[in-house]
């Protein structure tokens, strides 16, 4: 039987040093009145200045909102939509990390469809096309510049919520690695390891089975068209992240191309257990998304090993780190260590009694849990978290019941 494939992406992706200087030409095709969503810091720094210069040189009418907050609280989004409405833009530009790009997606959505944000939560809530969006990432990264999802924090929900829709895929992504030059080490490390987790999880998810099964899904599972991007991302990130941390231009470029490729892979395939487990971890410890995902990733890789031996061996090869699943796990742990990530949940203040409730919350996130190549229940999630609590991979039992083989 031939393989099944599905891939969704922006209409145009411009990548390379100096790409931001062409932003005006890209945006001018979409309209005259341009709203830029960013944060205070980036507005005053080189990315904000270069973005404004590029848009103004193209003769566009530009308004910049600098209201984005990290991790995107819902009130922050609502306030920005209200400010944006007064300007009546033709096109919305998201300039920044995942928080700013996700804010731009939600502003484009809020300006196009009336209704409270919670009406759009989940995978079926967005009623139709939104204002055209152009994403300009300054971290490498969440991949949000090419994905169909925006994530926000709602104080009425224990965990962060996602809005997923084909309509939220930016019209264009303009990816200039120079915009990441000078970013502080913790921003580089957390965003970079998140990208690696996107690539590895997208490559190892349950596979898309048939055209019929994928045609209407937002996240399809690994498939013939996402696999190439996932492995390319693993290779670029494993090769580039240490250089990016040292602020070397070649490492910055490889890391941005890697996070872009990872976004193309997971934006259709989806992610899985490392992401599900990070949601309750992030909510309790208030640690950034990338820190939690990167800390948990080796433990999740060890858990899925019995179901993903061939895939994890290919990850090891792509990382240039051997050819066995254990080599892949070692290489990810070493990279996370070199990037300065904590190696245990204890180190970020998690108490043993928090493990069971976090495990229960994580397995409730069905859209991510169903992607795990080795099925996991609350007991399995607890075992993963208990091993991560002490930073001890050997605690994870690798035997699988016959029914799962
Ligand atoms: N939509 C998606 O597909 C997707 C995927 C993964 C994560 N996310 C979301 O993205 C958010 C995290 O995004 P992030 O990791 O990019 O961080 P971020 O956008 O939250 O930014 C973190 C900090 O880094 C700063 N920063 C960004 N670029 C910089 C630069 N070039 N130089 C100096 N400082 C810079 C910002 O000003 C901010 O203070 C979370 O809300 C997460 O849930 C979204
Ligand atoms: Fe992520």
Residue 399 pLDDT class (50, 70, 90 cuts): confident
**Residue with CA closest to ligand 1 atom 38:** 70
**Residue with CA closest to ligand 1 atom 24:** 187
State in Å: Cα 137 to ligand 1 middle. Answer: 9
Q: Which residues line ligand 1 (CB under 6 A)?
A: 39, 41-42, 47, 70-72, 96-100, 102, 138-139, 141-144, 147, 149-151, 179-180, 182-183, 187, 190-191, 194, 289-290
Q: What is the mean pLDDT of residues 389-403?
A: 77
CATH topology of domain 1-268: Rossmann fold (3.40.50)
Q: Which ligand is nearest to the CA of 277?
A: 2
Q: What is the pLDDT of residues 272-331, one digit of tens each?
A: 999 999 999 999 999 999 999 999 999 999 999 999 999 999 999 999 999 999 999 999
Domain locations in the chain? 1-268, 272-405
State in Å: Cα 142 to ligand 2 middle. Answer: 6
Per-residue pLDDT at 93 exceeds 80? yes
User: Coil, helix or strand for 13?
Assistant: strand
State in Å: Cα 123 to ligand 1 middle. Answer: 22
**Residue with CA closest to ligand 1 atom 35:** 183
**Residue with CA closest to ligand 1 atom 11:** 98
User: Coil, helix or strand for 225?
Assistant: coil
State in Å: Cα 345 to ligand 1 middle. Answer: 22
Q: What is the pLDDT of residues 169-199, one digit of tens each?
A: 999 999 999 999 999 999 999 999 999 999 9
Ligand 1, residue 191: give the atom nearest the CA: 15
Q: What is the pLDDT of residues 62-85, one digit of tens each?
A: 999 999 998 799 999 999 999 999
The whole-chain average pLDDT of the chain stands at 95
Would you call 110 exposed, middle or buried from its count of C-beta atoms within 10 A (0-12, 13-18, 19+)?
A: buried
Per-residue pLDDT at 401 exceeds 60? no
Question: What is the percentage of the chain residues whose pLDDT exceeds 90?
Answer: 89
Distances (CA, A) of 143 to 174, 186, 212: 12, 18, 27
State in Å: Cα 101 to ligand 1 middle. Answer: 8
Q: What is the pTM of this model?
A: 0.96
Q: Which CATH superfamily is domain 272-405 in?
A: Dehydroquinate synthase-like - alpha domain (1.20.1090.10)
State in Å: Cα 379 to ligand 1 middle. Answer: 32
Would you state the structure tokens that stand for residue 402, as one six-digit string?
């016959």
Q: What is the pLDDT of residues 236-267, one digit of tens each?
A: 999 999 999 999 999 999 999 999 999 999 99
Ligand 1, residue 181: give the atom nearest the CA: 31
Q: Which ligand is nearest to the CA of 99?
A: 1
- The H-or-E segment that residue 371 falls in is none
User: Coil, helix or strand for 163?
Assistant: strand
Q: Rounded to an integer, what distance in angstroms lies between the CA atom of residue 163 and that of residue 105?
A: 10
Cβ contacts of 383 within 8 Å, gap of 6 or more:
303, 395, 396, 397
DSSP state for residue 96 in the 8-state scheme = E
Q: Which of 65, 86, 92, 226 is nearest to 167 (CA)?
A: 92
**Residue with CA closest to ligand 1 atom 28:** 138
Q: What's residue 23's pLDDT?
A: 98
Ligand 1, residue 152: give the atom nearest the CA: 41
Q: What is the pLDDT of residues 328-373, one digit of tens each?
A: 999 999 999 999 999 999 999 999 999 999 999 999 999 899 999 9
């Amino acid at each position: 039987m031939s393989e099944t494939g599905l891939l969704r992406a922006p209409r145009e992706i411009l990548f390379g040093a100096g790409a931001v200087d062409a932003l005006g030409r890209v945006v001018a095709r979409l309209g005259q009145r341009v709203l830029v969503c960013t944060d205070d810091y980036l507005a005053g720094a080189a990315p904000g200045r270069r973005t404004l210069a590029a848009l103004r040189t193209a003769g566009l009418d530009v308004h910049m909102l600098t209201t984005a907050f990290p991790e995107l609280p819902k009130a922050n989004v609502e306030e920005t939509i209200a400010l944006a409405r007064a300007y009546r833009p033709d096109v919305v530009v998201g300039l920044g990390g995942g928080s700013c790009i996700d804010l731009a997606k939600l502003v484009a959505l809020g300006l196009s469809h009336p209704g409270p944000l919670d009406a759009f939560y989940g995978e079926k809530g967005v009623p139709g096309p939104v204002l055209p969006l152009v994403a300009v990432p300054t971290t490498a990264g969440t991949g949000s510049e090419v994905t169909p999802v925006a994530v926000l924090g709602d104080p009425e929900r224990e965990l962060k919520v996602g809005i997923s829709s084909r309509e939220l895929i930016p019209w264009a992504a303009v990816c200039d690695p120079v915009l990441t030059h000078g970013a502080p080490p913790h921003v580089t490390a957390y965003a970079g390891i998140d990208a690696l987790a996107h690539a590895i999880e997208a490559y190892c998810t349950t596979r898309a089975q048939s055209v019929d099964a994928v045609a209407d899904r937002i996240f399809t599972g690994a498939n013939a068209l996402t696999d190439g991007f996932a492995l390319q991302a693993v290779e670029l990130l494993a090769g580039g992240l240490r250089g990016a941390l040292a602020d070397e231009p070649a490492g910055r470029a490889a890391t941005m191309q890697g996070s872009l490729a990872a976004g193309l892979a997971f934006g259709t395939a989806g992610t899985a257990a490392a992401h599900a487990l990070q949601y309750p971890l992030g909510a309790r410890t208030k640690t950034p998304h990338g820190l939690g995902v990167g800390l948990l990733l080796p433990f999740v890789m060890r858990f899925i090993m019995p179901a993903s031996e061939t895939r994890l061996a290919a990850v090891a090869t792509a990382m240039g780190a051997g050819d066995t699943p254990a080599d892949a796990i070692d290489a990810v742990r070493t990279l996370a260590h070199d990037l300065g990530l904590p190696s245990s949940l204890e180190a970020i203040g998690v108490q043993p009694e928090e493990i069971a409730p976090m495990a229960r919350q994580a397995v409730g996130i069905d859209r991510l849990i169903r992607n795990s190549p080795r099925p996991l229940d609350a007991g399995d999630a607890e075992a993963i978290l208990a091993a991560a609590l002490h930073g001890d991979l050997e605690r994870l039992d690798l035997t699988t019941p016959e029914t799962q083989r």
